[in-house]
Structure 1
Amino acid sequence: MFFRSKAATAGAQDDSAKIIADVVDSTQAVIRFKPDGTVLAANGNFLTALGYSQEEITGRHHAMFVAPDIAASPEYQTFWADLAAGRVNTGQFPRVTKDGATIWIQATYAPVKGPDGTVVQVVKVATDVTVRRLGLQEIARGLEAMSQGDLAVRVKLSEQPDIAALGAAFNRSAEQLQTAIGAVTQVSGAVGRTADEISKAAGDLSQRTESQAATLEETAAAIEELTSTVHSAAEGAGKVEGIVSEAKTAAERSGRVVEDAVAAMSQIESSSEEIAKIIGMIDDIAFQTNLLALNAGVEAARAGDAGRGFAVVASEVRALAQRSAGAAGEIKQLISESKQQVASGVDLVGRTGEELKQIIESVGTISTHISGIATGAKEQATSLSEINQGVSQLDQVTQQNAAMVEETSAASQQLSSDAGQLTREVSKFSGCGGAAPAATPRAEVIAFRRPAADSAQDTLPAAQGWEDF
């Protein structure tokens, strides 16, 4: 019973191995080699993929399936030496078909050891991945073209669904990137033009601001000089106001002196009238004395010798009376003339008083006006000081604005330069002038199973490492 069960198990294992071998043989390309690379046999899938018959490959070396430069490389010799030493090698490899085309396979080279542990043959199990490989190479070509700035590039979609999905995603990304870069190109151009306009306007504004700052600086200096002049004028007006006030006071004092002089002249006139009265009385006394002397002389003449002395005295008295009358007349005439002159002096002094009154009024008016002028000059000086301070502050602000405008001009020039640089960078991308072409429709998929020899050689990479074997 035990041995039957064991035998049944061994039989089941043999059946499983046969099933697996049949599955591999029906789905994979299988070929067997001697350890040195000589072909022992290949299944139908392998023969169909490379276009050979069994008789054409049996006994020949594996090198018939690779490019001559690969077959002659030291790496290729090492590849077979490692297999002969029992080391497995798995990867993707390019293989040349009978008609010269190149296909890609995903293969595993597995050494088969004998009872003594040495490698007796090498079995390769492979799958044709040309469609996948070329689909990836097509996407790589698109990426390379895009890296060179060609945004109009579109890839052909592979027959392999996952690679086709990747290609479609690439096409959509390229289309969106083309649209975005196109928009960026337009915007960068607009930004460049705007930056140039801003730079030009900033330059003009900078020049105008500098001119304005210079003019304002000159204005500030002129206002400062004007302020100093007005201050000096205000001080002068104040001094003139003091002088006019003193003149007014002196004129008022002169008016009072004139009034006193008029009063004194009036008193002199009154005194002259009194003196005239007294002189008149003296004249009357002299006249009466003269009459008395005349009468005395008459009486002395009547007395004869007894009255002779008295006659002499009477004659002398008469002479004195006549001289007194003459002197009194002269004095009266002089007093009359003095009275007229005093009257004229009183009139002149009165007129002088009136003129002084008018002068005092005029001086008062002048004093009032000069006071107003002095007050206005002080106010103007104060206002000009404030204006001068404001202009100085405005000058400082203008100078700061001028500096800011220069910085803005420099920034706008930098912006213009950056916009130009952006435009130059964006111009490296081609195919952004219009709408991006639509992705390749599924109906236009081209099969890559049997590419031509020349095109395959152009699109396949050069031999690199073990994967080229």
Structure 2
Amino acid sequence: MGKLRQFGLGAKLSGIAFILIALIIGTLIGVSSYTTTRLQEKQAIDDLTEKSTSVVQMIDLFNATLKNEADRSLKILETYFPGKFTSDGSSRVNVAGKSVPVLKSGGSTINNDHSVADRFSAQSGILATVFVRSENEFIRISTSLKNDKGERAIGTALDANSAAYKSLLEGKTYNGITTLFGREYFTEYLPLKNSSGQVIGALYVGIDFSENVKAIKNRIISMKVGDNGFFYAIDAAPGSTYGNIVMHEKDEGKNVLGIKATDGREIVKELLKAKNGVMHYVDAADAEGRERIISFHYFKDWDWIVIGRAYTDEITRDARTLRNWFMLGGLLAVVALAVLLYLLVRNLVSRPLGHAVTAASEIAKGDLTVRLESDRSDEIGQLANAMNSISQGLANVVWNVRRGTDTIASASSEIASGNQDLSSRTEQQASSLEETASSMEELTSTVRQNADNAMQANQLAVTASDVAARGGNVVSQVVETMHDIDASSKKIADIINVIDGIAFQTNILALNAAVEAARAGEQGRGFAVVATEVRALAQRSAAAAREIKDLIDDSVGKVEAGSRLVEHAGATMQEVVASIRQVHDIMAEITAASREQSDGIEQVNQAITQMDQVTQQNAALVEQAAAAAEALQNQSADLVKQVNIFKLKSTATGTRDEAAALVKKAIEQLREQGRDATFSEISNPLGQFTDRDLYVVVYDLNGKNLAHGANPKLIGQNLIDSKDGDGKPYVRERIDIIRNHGKGWQDYSFLNPISKNMEPKSMYLEQHEDLIVGCGIYKT
């Protein structure tokens, strides 16, 4: 193969042309030789058949002469027995040691009476025998036939396997040939019947034609086909001689049932079964292995198979000689044509292609200014124009690639710069996120501390609220006590007023008493002293009362002021209690908010941690993108657009109309071409009855598959119980549709050969004679 690649295109084309021409001429010679050989073979077969037929006709003519003679002789023999034939089963006689019924003609007993047979044979030269029926046997009771020892052949039975025996039982006349004591006889048997029509015996005549048949055999044996072809005959009559050669130059009497061909066929048994025909075979016992052709014909009257045999190589010798001359002339013609083609190809193809190769090499080196000059309009000229178009196209592509490469380089540089900037910002963002995360952790700690302080303040507010409430209660009690003191002071003031009134009255009374004592004089002087003392006491009492009153009034004022202050303090304490309660509520809300804020900050902290991770990943991706951009910046990409065009067989599914049309087409071909040819065409996956997922099937009315377009392996199988994908016996249902309607549609599920899925299907069915022809479509 390596050396072959070194040759130029002209040499290769010439070599290919040489091979093609050699193949063509060789094929023509082969076809011619084959045709001639087959023609000679056919002529030889026709010659064999014609000669075999003439042999059979010769034997048939001789047989007709013998039959006429036997018919005439049998009628003459009947005249030797003028009376009616009767047989009484109750009356028996011994014949050669065997007890048999008595057979009479008129009143004469035939058993052991050979006079009539001898007289007939003496006058005609033809053997005569009389048989009596004993149960299911025909026994010889009178005959002119004697064996080699001169003994009469009586007391023996007719062979129950012979054709004569069967004909006599049926009450029919039989004629044929037989061999007795080394002599050939043409025989005829006539059944003897009683008045009831029952066969009670038989008459027999035998014409010795040994010399005549010997002459015929010699004549037939002398007939030749080719150099070594000849004719012979085999006994086809059932019995001990079945398969024996009855006519042959050397092997007469030999049994040849065991002859086999090299392929194992039992040739003689096949031709005995076929009776008539032509066969080719190689005898397994033939050391040379030469193929033989035989043409054989059956001669029914004698149960002979007449065979003409010849060697294939002898009858096709002329064809082989002609083939050899053809081969020699073809070889010379091939060589001459090959040389001529080489010169033409070199001038018309190789040289222009060489120029094209040189131009392609220059283009491959990068010189896109190369152009081919050609004024030819054939494929070479088209190639030159195509090369020029390729060169120009490549030049345009190079310019576009250059511009594209520049653009890609600029864009790559910008992408790289952007990636670097993005990488820097991403790193800054990552750093900021780390700081934010740290701050958020501190904030989380502070918020948690605030939440704890708020909880403590809330507890203190609760305690203060309780203390303020208790203080409020005490102030309320003080206010009530002050109110009581104020009331008591007012009562004391009232009492002091009474005392002051009493002192005033006492002073008045003392004054009056002094006046009166003065009036009384000496007598009243002691009273006046008392009065003066009482007056002085009253004045002191009044003064003391006034002082007490002033003190009480001052105390009352101070108590009223204190009561007002205490009331104000009570109100203030109520406001303090309410404020502390509000502080408690606010601190509780602050505590809850601090907890929520702590949780939220914790979530924010987690989010920031995730953002930090994502940012780290983004930073890594940015670095990868930067590396890819840098790699893209250092590379030039050639952009190639490929277009693949495929011409595909349609995979569209068939329609109901197409399925019905295929069935009708198949039925029409069945009518025109018969079953075998149509079944073969239907079962061919590439034939006219297979289209996409459509194919034709044929069954008989018992469910046996006779043709199948999708699965020929099913042919010959009985599918009566076959089930579809849903478990339904679809073939049995088809038979019911045909028997009830003659045609129609059937729904079932089956495997789609295109999608390989189980899909719903409908099949159109129509009856033709005893056949069911169908074609299905998939519904999906």
Q: TM-score, normalised by structure 2?
A: 0.31
Structure with a larger share of its residues in helix: 1
Structure with a larger share of its residues in strand: 2
Q: Which has the higher contact order (CA 8 A, sep 6+)?
A: 1
Q: TM-score, normalised by structure 1?
A: 0.47
